[in-house]
Structure formats: structure tokens, C-alpha cells
Structure 1
Amino acid sequence: MWLAAWIAMTVPAPLVFFEGSHRWEEHQNVSTALWWTMGALPVLAAVVAARWTRYTGRRRTCSALLAATVAATLISGVFLGLSVAVYRWVIPLDGAADWWGVLSTGVLLAAGGAAVGHLIGLAGVRPGRPAGRHGYLIGGAVAVLGVLFAQLAVQLGAEGSTSQYDVIGYGGVGPNAGVPGEPGTLRLPAAGRYAILAVGPAPRNPDCRVAGVGLADRSAELVTIPPGDYGSDAASYAWVAWFDVPDSGTYSLTCRSYDEAASYLVGEVPHIKGAVGALIHWPSAAIWLLGAVPGLLIIAARYANRRKLAEPPTGSRRTATGARSR
């Protein structure tokens, strides 16, 4: 449960909030995302310390306070390290961050939250634990939400992790990029990989084919989770497909989709930093499974707890066996 809540508050929440509260051409700075992490950290530490105090016995001693604070700070530090790793290597957003400063400040915030949590635990304030099948329902709901938001988080993360990208068109197809109703002509300056960009609201899953110098008619590879928000006020673009060419020269491009007025432009491949640059090419099923992991962990933990509670203590089993033998 804690892992699911932490992931939701520190990864999708800041990305979605920024997307909804800023202009589309603005890029999110890593510091704005880390504020969410730093704000959630003392809350997590307080919850951990309160539970630690309840389960170890409510003792109003300095040693009990120290034990609860250290335990909660260490656990919260692991979660903080997870978030730092995400924004350092998986979704490296724009801007710079003092990572050691983030870690040291986070430890202080966690220690303060843990001290407050210990006092809450001493007071006996505790949320009710879900009983029966409620744990399974919560886990299932978290898994469904994870599946729904996984692709959005990857898409927004890829957009925020894209280095400065200027759209330089080498030709295209459609009324806004070429001659309507005719194959597009591409003049590519070098061998290598090129991106097919959807112009404006064009469908994100076109059937595009490229042919030309030393290249037979070949289908372009779709990007599973197309990052967008490229371009300027004049037009926005989304990276929807890519293809490789063996040499420079003139090529032809055809793209078919359900929108006959759709336009597609060929340009350089956006440079997306971090592991999220690979995640956008993963199969959708793998991304959905990744998003469902926190909910599945809740279900697994609930199942393990129910089995543990259902087993009678060892001493009880021995007593019952002795009574039957007599």
C-alpha cells in the first residue's frame, strides 16, 4: 500500500499536475517534481513511525523514540532513493538538482516526520485496517489505476525528458506537409534513423511506408507511446513512427490513417534522456503490467497476511494434539 501511494504521489501526480496547469510548450523542471517527493516524505515517515510504535509497544522513553525515528527514517530514505533514481536515470527532466542536497534534506524531513509519527502512535491514533476482502479490492483498484495511468506517466515523462528539439522537416505527406493526395517526397541528408511526426491532431497510429535509394518499400515502425508537445505556437507535433535509411537521397513516403486530412512530417529523431526513451517503445502489455505491479503487490501481501493469520500458533497445535491423544 505504501509503495503504491508513494509511486502515485511522486511520479504520475507531478507530471499530470504540470501538464494540466502549464502551457503545452513549457517543459517541466526536475525541481518542481522533487517538491512533491519532499512534501510526501515526512508524511510517509510519520505513518511508518506510528505503526512501528504501535507494534513494538507504546513506551514513552527516549530509546523508543530513537528506535521509531531511526526505523522510519531508514525506510523513508529507501523510498526517497527510489524517487531520486527515477528522476536521475529513468525520467531525467530538464534542469539540474543538487542530488546530495535532496538526500540530506530528505533525511531531516523524514526524521522530523518520524518524531511526530511516534507521538501519534503513543496517542493511539490509528486508521482502521481493511479487513476481509477489502485488501483485495483495494489492490485491484490500485492495479486498475496503475494500468490506466502507466502510459500517461511514460508519455509525459518522455516529453519532459526530451532535450531541446527543433522540428526540421525533410518532407512529408498530407495537406500541411506535402501535396494532398500524393506520396510525400523526402530529401534526407544522411543515412540513419528518422522520425515521422504527426502534425496537430493527426492519428497516432498511421500505416506509413518508405521507399527510395537502396530501400524497397518498407513499413515504418510505430512508437508505442508517442510523445508529443513538440513544435511551436504555429503547430504541434507528436513522434509516432520511425524508419532507417541506408544512404542519403530522395525517398517517398505514404501514410494511411482513418483521417484522410491527416498530415505527417519527417524530421530528426527526438533525443529523449534516460530509460524512459526506451519505455516508449515497449509493448503496451508490458507497460500495463508495470503499472499494475503496486496493486498486485498489495494483493500478494494481503493474501500472505490472511494465510499467516489463518494458521494457529505452534503452541496451540501442540495443545490440541495432546488433548486429542488423552
Structure 2
Amino acid sequence: MRGRAAWRAVGQAFPGPVGLATWIAVTVPAPLVIYEATHRWEEDQDVATALWWTLAAVPALAASAAARWTGRAGQHAVRPLLAATATGTLVSAVFLAGSMAFYRWVIPLSGAMDWPRLWWIGLLLAVAGAAIGYPIGRRRRTRQAGRWGYLGGALVAVAGALLAPVTVRLGAEDSTSRPHDEGRYGETGLYAAPPGRSGILELPAAGRYAILAAGFSPKDPACRVSGPGRAARRAELVSIPPSDYGNGDYATYAWVASFTVPGPGTYVVTCHTGDGQARYTVGTIPRIRGAVAAVIHWPAAVIRLLGSIPGLLIIATTYRRRARRVAAAAPE
């Protein structure tokens, strides 16, 4: 019975919705957004710089898990100290493994990483953080769920919904294999080509091609493609267009749409927007590594909903705890 209670306490040591939201924010959007804001557009983020954020967060996670375990176990001998340290390390190892998997298969950033070395450094930091968390847990007071949980959860949900598309876009940009060809096959737009030639492209083979917006051109153009043996068809928009492509400072490009042709030949691509100076170019499909290559094509509403889940969990947890408290206080 005592062992079952101890394992239940281990499960409760895992971060709650607030801890989960904090971990996700620190290890996923923060590295990508801050790197984008502090570096030139043509520089891709290295995987090592993102994972250092994870390592920096591991001691705090381990300390929190150990404190949660200690507060629920209610024991103050030497053996519980070891158990709290082991619990905090175990919880941190699970989250560290999740971050490593995320940056290896979901958003595989550029650069190389010594994964075994990262793992052992993370475990050492987790042990240190868990040992610090044990005395914190002995002094910890359980807080009642208040109405602030609803406000905090709503703010986290809104922030997550706003940051999710940005995170996907930046992850796709930094996971793109280089070099990439923009404008290899021709351009479309009022100022993109000689008179009478705008949008007339000689495509060498069947397959998919990318339509890229130059500079500040709108990212949601209505593009149509027509050619030999093919009626005009609408190009497929990219839900979260990755940008910052290009080989120089003259212009940056964003992958906004794609289309498929059945064979080589002369095709006409027309893109209509409210911007008369918008310019689009046709090139090869950017080669994006990892699962993020598929995520950029998901509906934007789905991506925003996924980003809001941590905030929604905070709201749900606040409601459940308050309901339990009211039920316990009600007279029988």
C-alpha cells in the first residue's frame, strides 16, 4: 500500500498545466523567436543553440518535480531525499528526451549535435536541481485554486494561439536544406518581367513547383496555372508560409503556394492581389526536413488550437479544483 502511494506521488510530481506551459514556452518558441529577433535573416539557427535553452530549464523542472513529490510524500528522512532526487531526475529525463526528439525529428535545425553528451549533461543538471527541490518541498504550502487561474489560462491560451504559427514558420525556415533556387523558371507581376512575358514560364519536367512572394508581397495571392493540355487551375496556398529565403540582400522570398504540372512545356502563372506592385517568382520546392514540412500545410486554425491547449488545460484544471473544493465544503 505504501509503495502504491509512493508511485502515485511520482505521477503527481509531473508538472501541472502551468509547468507544462512554461516548459513548452521556454524550450520551443523562445529559442526560435529570440534568435530571429537578434540575428540577420539569412542566418539559420543551429540546433545546439536551441537545446541549450532546454538544458538551462532542466534544473528548474527537476527542482519543481522533487518539491511536488516531497510535498505529497510528507517524509523528511535521508531516504526520502534520495527518492525525491530520483523522482525529479526521472521526470526531467522524460521531458529532456521529448525535447531531443522534437529537435531531431519534428524541427531538425541545422548544425550537428553531440546527442549522448547532451543527454548526460542534462541528467547531471537534473540531479542537481532535484536535490535543491527537496528542501523547497518541505516548506511548500498547498495553494487553493482561485479565479486567477481562469485569467492566467486565458492569457496563456491566447499567447499560445498567436505563437504557434510563428513557431512553425521559424522552425520550417531553419530546417530548410540549402542551397535553394528562387526564380529559376521565371516571374509574375507587374514589375517582374518584360512586357508581355510576365508569368510565362518554361518548365523542364513534370512535378511540383513553388510560387514564392518577393519582399513584402502579400502571402495569400490567388494564383492560377494554365498550360498545354491543362485548363487553368488554382495553385495550392501554403497555410504557414516559410520565408527568409534568398541568396542575397536584394530581396527575401516566402513560399506561399505550390502547383503541379503533368509534363514539360510552356505554362502561364497569374497571381492576383490587392497590391499592384506584388512580385512572385517560380522555383523549386524548398526542401524542409522533419515533420514541420507537413505541419506548414495544416489549416492555420488547427495550429492555433494546438498552441492554445496549455492555456485551456490551465482553465480546465482550475475549474476542476474549485469544483472539488466547493464539493468538500458543502454540508452533507
Q: Alpha-carbon deviation of 1:179?
A: 3.2
Does the CA contact (< 8 Å) of 1:165 and 1:270 recur in 2?
no
Name the CA distance, whole Å, in 1 between partners of 2:144 and 2:86: 27
Q: Percent identity?
A: 57
Q: Does the residue aligned with 1:45 lie in a helix, a strand or coil? A: helix
Residue 177 of structure 1 corresponds to 192
Q: Alpha-carbon deviation of 1:68?
A: 0.8
Q: Does the residue aligned with 1:26 lie in a helix, a strand or coil? A: coil
Residue 148 of structure 1 corresponds to 162
Give 2:70's match in structure 1, choosing from 39, 48, 53.
Answer: 53
Paired residues for 1:27-176 under 5 Å: 27-57=44-74, 59=76, 61-122=77-138, 124=139, 129=143, 131-168=145-182, 169-176=184-191
Say if 1:176 and 1:82 are closer, same or farther in 2 by CA, change over 3 A.
Answer: farther
Q: Alpha-carbon deviation of 1:51?
A: 2.5
Name the CA distance, whole Å, in 2 between partners of 1:130 and 1:204: 47
Structure 2 counterpart of 1:259, one-letter code: D
Does the CA contact (< 8 Å) of 2:192 and 2:198 recur in 1?
no
Does the CA contact (< 8 Å) of 1:173 and 1:180 recur in 2?
no
Residue 217 of structure 1 corresponds to 232
Residue 207 of structure 1 corresponds to 222
Moved more, 180-189 or 10-19: 180-189
Name the CA distance, whole Å, in 2 between partners of 1:69 and 1:161: 36
Residue 323 of structure 1 corresponds to none
Structure 1 counterpart of 2:50, one-letter code: A
Residue 269 of structure 1 corresponds to 285
Give 1:26's match in structure 2, choosing from 43, 47, 52.
Answer: 43
Q: Alpha-carbon deviation of 1:106?
A: 1.0
Say whether 1:303 aligns with 2:303: no
Does the CA contact (< 8 Å) of 1:209 and 1:254 recur in 2?
yes
What's the RMSD between the two structures over aligned residues? Answer: 1.9
Moved more, 239-248 or 49-58: 49-58
Q: Alpha-carbon deviation of 1:306?
A: 2.4
Say if 1:17 and 1:180 are closer, same or farther in 2 by CA, change over 3 A.
Answer: farther
Give per-residue Cα distances to partners, 1:162-212, cap 9 Å, x unaligned.
011322420111255323686411111110000000011111011111111
Q: Give the unaligned 5+ runs of structure 1.
A: 321-326
Q: Give the unaligned 5+ runs of structure 2.
A: 1-17
TM-score of the superposed pair, with normalisation by structure 1:
0.91
Structure 2 counterpart of 1:6, one-letter code: W
Moved more, 19-28 or 226-235: 226-235
Q: Between Structure 1 and Structure 2, how many residues are aligned?
A: 313
Say whether 1:291 aligns with 2:307: yes
Name the CA distance, whole Å, in 2 between partners of 1:257 and 1:77: 50
Give 1:253's match in structure 2, choosing from 257, 263, 269.
Answer: 269
Residue 228 of structure 1 corresponds to 243
Structure 2 counterpart of 1:53, one-letter code: T
Q: Does the residue aligned with 2:224 lie in a helix, a strand or coil? A: strand
Give per-residue Cα distances to partners, 1:41-97, cap 9 Å, x unaligned.
1011112212222232251x2211111111111111111122112101110000121
TM-score of the superposed pair, with normalisation by structure 2:
0.89
Q: Alpha-carbon deviation of 1:301?
A: 1.9
